[in-house]
Every structure is written in structure tokens, then in C-alpha cells.
Structure 1
Amino acid sequence: MNTANPLTIHRVMHEIKRRKLQVLRVVDLTPRMRRITVGGPELAGFISLGSDDHVKLFFPQTAEQHTALNNLELSAGVKNKVMPPMRDYTPRRYDLSTHELDLDFVLHGDGPASTWAAQVQPGQHLHIGGPRGSMIVPDIFDSYLLIGDETALPAIARRLEELPANRRALVVIEVENEQEQQPLKSAASIEVIWVHRDAPAGNLLSTVEGLNIPSGELYTWVATESALSRKVRRVLLDTHGLNEEFVKAVGYWRLDDSAEE
């Protein structure tokens, strides 16, 4: 039984379920960001309560891995032999009335998820699992500071859409160039700072160092490359003096791995 105080940040666990879904639509949001809508009757009962939730996506590479997924055979006895590559992705949007789930992929040209997303067509299938749980951030903050790169955009955009009109949000997002900027919608009052990776001067860390931090009770969320997230967190705590209890910084990818969540 969940006994967490609903007025504090808390985690809710979900029953883990594997689903086989069909690709319904493929839409390019930017030159490097592709939205893939999957769905079907197996999406019934899907739940995602947190804007930064993650589902596990499976990308089989061999006939044995395909067979195991289709037969739901990933049991402990065969797991090591046939487990396909997996990646974590944010449920950008889901609608149980239409059995649809949106997933946004960065097309960076490497890795099983990006390779799959680059060639996918409606009618193909995708296996997903989870979410395992949700981090619930109750509406107790005056302001939000959201910092990330392309991989964090789905979670940032979803949180902004969930904020009420009487809140403020400062958003800092690093993308490749101006073409990778996306419109962000919110009932809250938002300020968005786009940092372009191909610009001759400035970067995400220096931009964070120079921020004017929003006033009032503040919740801060950071998601980017693992080492960079740690550096951003230190700047927020040491330079800006933020309350460590309300600063969540996570690594969505590592430089020695593919740039996927």
C-alpha cells in the first residue's frame, strides 16, 4: 500500500508489464527529432504519472531475439542468451481512449534505438516494458528550473504542459542548432533559453552559471550527459545556493555510449 505523503516528492511503483505495440505514425519534429506514435489494444492499462517516467524499449538484432520477444520468452533461464538491446525513453504523451503512445527519438546516427527510428514505418512493431515507477512532484512549488539537452526535451515539454497557470518556469535546453528548437507550450509563465551546440561561444554549463534563478519555492530538474549533469548540479548548489533536497540531476547518456536516454 502506498503511504507516501501526497504533498511531498515521492515515488509510486507500478506493475511491470510487457507490451507489443504497432507503429501508427512517424512525424519529424525537427531534422534530428522524430516522433513515433505506437499503439494497439495491449496499451490498455498503461500508466505514467510522472513527466520524467521511462519505458524500456526492446530492439532485437537477431532472429533468436525476435522469437523470444514475440513469444514473451525473456525468462531468467534464457535472458542472458537472447536479451535484445534495450533503451529507456520518456512517454511523451499517451491516450488510453485511442490506445496511443508518443515517443520522441533523437536521430544521432548511432545505436539500436536511433537506427530503428531512422528506418521505421507504420505497421512495424515495438516491444515496450514499464514504466517501473513514477516520481511524483506535487504542485507545491512556485517556480521550476528545467535544464537539459535533446534527450531531455520530451520530459521537459511534458512537465511544462502539466504546470498550472499560476507557476513560473525557467527552461535551459542545449540543442545542435536553431533548427532543433521546438515550440514549448504551457499554461505557466515560461522563459526558454536555447543553447546552440554549434555556436562559437557559450555552452550549457556557462549558461547555467549566469542564470538569474527564479524566486519563491523552486524545484530544479536536470538531465543531460552524465558528467555534465553532475557539473551542472554542483553549479546549482555551490554557485546559486539551491536547496539540494529539491534539485534532481540525472544522466540520460554517457559520452562513451550512444546518445540515447
Structure 2
Amino acid sequence: MIESLVPTIERVRHDLKMRDVTVVRINHVSPGFASITFHGEALADFTSLSFDDHVKFMFNDANGEQVRRDYTPRRFDRDARELDIEFALHGHGGAAEWARNATVGQSAIIGGPRGSMILPLQMDWHLLIGDDSALPAVTRRLEELPAAARVQAVLLVDTPDRRTFATQAHADIHWVASEDELLQVLTDLPLQPGAGLAWGGGEAALMARVRELLIAKGMPRQAAKVSAYWKRGVADHHERLD
């Protein structure tokens, strides 16, 4: 096993609260993603302490039935009472359809987050793995890492939605085009010496294989934090695999 210190991870619980919000801005980040800014006085006590947080986004569909989906809080401005959430537009689910048709003034409900898993910034190295559903979390993490941080990212994202990240860290980004390529890059990628931390987010079966691969390479289980953001054939799925 690679000699590595186990990171200290802080878990914080938050009071669950449902907040009424309204769309105030829509920005198309790439062909497949829109960043939608929500405003509401109910956001005055909103808290998101980790890039890994997720909120429950709720809206009524055309049949008047409530749809609930998990999303990453991408950016929060307490003074402005504004919260940004990035939506994938290329899906066939109700949330993607809602985002494609969203207009300024439209209302929704945001619940949570119920808790935060705060991963330390001061590590010898960081490894981020994900598909396009993890892009908002990866983007937020790269923004918050300090200038001295060393980070590698392996990301399964279609070419039109690949983006330039704003980060102070020393970042090495590996874009891949298939699950097999992602797993091969991870297999070939040597783990760096020292205290490292790996985080992954994406499709359930792929992330289970990612976690198995990391542990087989010698990564301590406590240092490999992997979440299933979605699952093929399941409408609303979010599961932590660590």
C-alpha cells in the first residue's frame, strides 16, 4: 500500500429547510450546460460548506406533480441572496427539460443541503474523477484549492462541454471520451507520494469501478471519497459509495 496519511474529514449537519426561490439570470456555460441563478430572501441562512454538497431542487411538472433532483450548489452570494446551480441540458429527464425552458421570474423550491462533508484543502496532492454530472463540483473544488495545491483530474466529458477552469492550483486535466478510457487513465496514473485525497462523482456503476481501482492501487479507503450522482435507468439517484 502507498504510504499515505489518512485525511481528516469533517462532517457537519445542517437543519433541513425548504426555500422558495425565483430565477433571476440564465447563463449558458457551454452547449450542454446552463448556470441558473436563483434569488430569494429565504436564502439568507443558506449554508454550503463543501464542493461535494448537494441540494434538492424541486419544481412542478406539466402534470402538476412535484419533481425532485439533486444538484451541486455551484456559487452562493449571501449578500445578494443568490444561488447558482448548473443544469445539464442534454438529458431527457424532467429537470433537464425544466432548465431548457427556464425563464427569468420562474419559481422553484430548494431544500438543503442536509449536511457537508468537508474535505481538507491542505493535502500533498488531490485527484478528481468524474463524468459531466460532476463538472459543477469539480469546477468549484478547483476554484477553492490554494495556489500550492497539486491536483490531477480525469474527466469524462464530451468535447463541446469541456471547459477552462479558473484555479490557482497546479492542475493537470485529463479529458477522456469513454468509460474505458477513464479507467485506463486511472490505471496508468501513478499515485503521488505523501498524503493524498481522491474524490469521484458520476454514474453509479462507473464510480463503483473507480473506487475499486483506487483501493487496488493502494489508496486508503478513507482517502477515496466517491459518490454515485446518477444511475442508468433510475430517475432520482444519489448515493455515497465510500
TM-score normalised by structure 1 residue count: 0.84
4+ long deviations beyond 6 Å: none
Which residue among 214, 220, 224 is the counterpart of 1:247? 224
The residue aligned with 2:4 is: none
| Alpha-carbon distance in structure 2 between the residues aligned to 1:96 and 1:260 | 29
Q: Could you say what secondary structure the match of 1:44 adopts? A: helix
The 2-side partners of 1:128 and 1:37 are apart by 12
Q: Which residue of 1 aligns with 2:13?
A: 13
Instruction: Name the CA distance, whole Å, in 1 between partners of 2:29 and 2:121.
Output: 30
Letter in 1 for 2:137: A
Q: Is the 8 A contact 1:174 1:204 kept in 2?
A: yes
For residues 145 and 221 of structure 1, the distance between their equivalents in structure 2, rounded to whole angstroms, comes to 6
1:49 corresponds to? 49
Give the Å deviation of 1:217: 0.8
Deviation, 1:202, is: 5.3
Cα displacement string for residues 80-112 of structure 1 (whole angstroms, at most 9, x for unaligned residues): xxxx22111000000011111110011123111
User: Is it true that 1:195 corresponds to 2:176 in the alignment?
Assistant: yes
2:32 aligned residue: 32
What is the CA-CA distance between 1:184 and the residue it aligns to? 0.9
Letter in 2 for 1:223: G
CA distance in 2, matches of 1:260, 1:124: 25
- CA contact under 8 A between 1:145 and 1:214: conserved in structure 2? no
The answer to whether the 8 Å contact 1:39/1:99 transfers is: yes
Report what 1:211 is aligned to.
189
Contact 1:43 1:96 in 2 (8 A): yes
Q: Alignment partner of 2:232: what SS? A: coil
2:203 to 203, 225, 242: 225
User: How far off is 1:62 after superposition?
Assistant: 5.9
State the alpha-carbon separation in 2 of the partners of residues 34 and 196 from structure 1. Answer: 21
Aligned equivalents of 1:175 and 1:140: distance in 2? Answer: 28
Q: Supply the distance in 2 between the matched residues of 1:61 and 1:160 (Cα, whole angstroms).
A: 34
Larger radius of gyration: 1
User: Aligned pair count?
Assistant: 232
- Please list the CA deviations of residues 135-192 of structure 1 after superposition, one character each: whole Å capped at 9, or x if unmatched: 011234111000001110111111111111111100111012x211011121111110
Q: TM-score, normalised by structure 2?
A: 0.90
Superposition deviation, residue 8 in structure 1? 2.0
Q: Which protein is richer in strand relative to its size?
A: 2
Q: Equivalent pairs: percent with the same residue?
A: 41
